[in-house]
Amino acid sequence: MVKIQQLPSGQLILTIPKILAEYEGLEKGMEVEFKKHKDGLLLDITKGEG
């Protein structure tokens, strides 16, 4: 399950399952980009850190 939380500052945080992060090699601080798709959103994972 993906979860969106809002900090008191108004910033939104997207939380993804740990197993998905491990499978894709994601680490804390990495940047991802959302791209609009006709059926929703695509998540483009950049392998560099932000």
What global pTM score does this model have?
A: 0.60
Above 90 in pLDDT, residue 9? yes
Ordered by start, the domain boundaries in the chain are: 3-49
Task: Kindly indicate the confidence band of residue 49, based on its pLDDT and cuts at 50, 70 and 90.
Answer: low
User: Average of pLDDT values for 8-29?
Assistant: 90
Is the pLDDT assigned to residue 39 strictly greater than 80?
yes
Sequence-ordered list of residues with C-beta below 8 angstroms from that of 37, at least 6 positions apart, any chain: none
SS3 (DSSP) at 19:
helix
- At residue 12, the pLDDT reads 92
Calpha distance 4→40 (Å, rounded): 16
pLDDT band at 10 (very low <50, low <70, confident <90, very high): very high
pLDDT for the residue numbered 43: 84
